[in-house]
């Protein structure tokens, strides 16, 4: 193997690596020098008197040995010293005590040493590359990445990013109706990055709630700007989802902003999630009202909350029960996940037919008062009459004289 061929092979390998793997110049030079010095120490016993000049931009390197000129009979170390006679063969002007530098022929290291250098460098470069991938993606956990589908297997899918790094999308992290072909573009969220034995493994997901949240952040500028907040998400990937949003700015309608004009914003997300049906609702800390909204499109008549057991009982008209439960029980299941309460739905009792919805009293009671009563789970006159005056005043934040007037109106209705 000729010196020129060796030099070209060594530098070309690392020049190509640097260009494709984004290893910085300083690190590349450091790795090369460290490896060469290790080889020099093994071949010559020491590397202290060697200068290694590496220029990856030009694709070349040089190794220079510095030796002191000594008398012929006082030569003790041929690696750090050179006899005067030999020095004068290089240049007749050399004198004892001067330093002479001569280039080392890389090929003189021997074939075995050169192969060891290549193997060592390959191993170190691979380690650097793996560290680069790990450090890049550990900071991307929870963020959306886009890649090209390279291979589709039964249990997982291999995706390549724009640098050719391998990303794994397991089958259980895919939406059931997902169907990708090779060379298609795929978006997913990074949920896990392992680095076992310095072999990074990047795991993606399209079923994570966080994936849906990030899609909303991309599509809804008000979320990016911090004007709308996503409070919680309940999702059955590919089928149906409920998302609760809130805004502290009264001028902003969070639900309308998320849906977009003519539904354009949410339709973009629905398409990405394989036509997953998404309900966007207004969040409230009032658990009674929150459960009512979570059970939409069903309209509940009354509700009982058992705070200690995180349980709620919702009473509905017979025709509303099926809406509350939803197809295959999805609506009530998602509502329970979203609110954190176990929800049971019941048909209204028969004697409730004699009850009256408080909306029918809008000509006698102001709308904001009716809204306050609904917020505490009172949707009918009997719901209100079942509570004490003190409970209504405290829970609905109403003046006692206002509560007295409300109770008077409802009682007089039933006395009739």
Domains and CATH numbers, the chain: 3-135 (3.30.1480), 141-205 (2.40.50.140), 209-283 (3.30.300.20), 352-415 (1.10.150)
The model's pLDDT over 42-52, given as tens digits with 9 standing for 90+, comes to 888 888 888 88
Lowest mean pLDDT among 11-15, 326-330, 390-394: 11-15
Task: Write out the H or E segment, with its range, that includes residue 152.
Answer: strand 144-152
The pLDDT confidence band at residue 352, using thresholds 50, 70 and 90, is: very low
The structure tokens listed for 33 are 């020098």
How far apart CA 66 and CA 344 sit, in angstroms, is: 87
Q: What is the CA radius of gyration of the chain?
A: 38
The structure tokens listed for 181 are 């072909």
Q: Choose the most confident range, by mean pLDDT, from 31-45, 235-249, 399-413.
A: 235-249
* Cβ atoms 188, 180 nearer than 8 A: no
91: number of CA atoms within 13 Å, CB side? 10
* Class of residue 66 by CB neighbours under 10 A (exposed 0-12, middle 13-18, buried 19+): middle
pTM: predicted TM-score of the whole model, two decimal places: 0.70
Instruction: Say what the pLDDT of residue 287 is.
Output: 93
pLDDT above 70 as % of the chain: 92
The structure tokens listed for 263 are 């539904």
**Residue listed under structure tokens 């060697």:** 50
The model's pLDDT over 143-181, given as tens digits with 9 standing for 90+, comes to 999 999 999 999 999 999 998 899 999 999 999 999 999
The structure tokens listed for 204 are 């993606």
The pLDDT confidence band at residue 360, using thresholds 50, 70 and 90, is: confident
């Amino acid at each position: 193997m000729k010196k020129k061929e060796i030099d070209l092979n060594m530098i070309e390998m690392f020049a190509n690596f640097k260009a494709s793997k984004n290893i910085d110049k300083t690190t590349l030079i450091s790795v090369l020098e460290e490896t060469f010095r290790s080889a020099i120490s093994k071949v010559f016993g020491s590397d202290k008197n060697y200068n290694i000049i590496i220029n990856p931009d030009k694709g070349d390197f040089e190794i220079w040995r510095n030796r002191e000129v000594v008398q012929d009979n006082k030569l003790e170390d041929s690696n750090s010293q050179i006899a005067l006679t030999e020095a004068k063969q290089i240049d007749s002007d050399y004198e004892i005590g001067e330093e002479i530098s001569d280039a080392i022929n890389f090929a003189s290291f021997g074939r075995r040493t050169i192969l060891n250098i290549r193997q060592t460098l390959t191993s170190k470069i691979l380690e650097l590359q793996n560290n680069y991938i790990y450090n890049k993606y550990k900071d991307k956990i929870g963020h959306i990445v886009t890649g090209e589908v390279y291979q589709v297997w039964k249990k997982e899918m291999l995706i390549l990013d724009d640098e050719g790094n391998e990303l794994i999308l397991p089958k259980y992290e895919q939406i059931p109706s997902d169907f990708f072909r090779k060379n298609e573009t795929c978006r997913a969220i990074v949920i896990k990055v392992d680095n076992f034995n310095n072999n990074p493994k990047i795991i993606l997901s399209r079923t994570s709630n966080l994936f849906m949240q990030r899609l909303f952040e991309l599509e809804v500028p008000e979320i990016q700007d911090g004007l709308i907040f996503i409070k919680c998400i309940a999702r059955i990937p590919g089928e149906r989802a409920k998302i609760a949003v809130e805004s502290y700015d009264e001028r902003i309608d969070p639900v309308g902003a998320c849906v977009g004009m003519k539904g354009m914003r949410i339709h973009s997300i629905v398409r990405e999630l394989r036509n997953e049906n998404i309900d966007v609702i207004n969040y409230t800390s009032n658990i009674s009202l929150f459960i009512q909204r979570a059970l939409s499109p069903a309209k509940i008549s009354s509700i009982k909350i058992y705070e200690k057991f995180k349980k709620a009982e919702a009473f509905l008209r017979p025709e509303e029960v099926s809406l509350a439960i939803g197809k295959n029980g999805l609506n009530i299941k998602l509502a329970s996940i979203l609110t954190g309460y176990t929800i049971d739905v019941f048909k209204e009792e028969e004697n409730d037919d004699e009850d009256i919805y408080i909306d029918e009293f809008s000509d006698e009671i102001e709308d904001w008062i009716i809204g306050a009563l609904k917020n505490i789970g009172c949707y009918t006159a009997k719901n209100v009459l079942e509570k004490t005056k003190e409970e209504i005043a405290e829970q609905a934040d109403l003046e006692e004289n206002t509560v007295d007037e409300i109770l008077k109106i409802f009682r007089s209705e039933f006395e009739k």
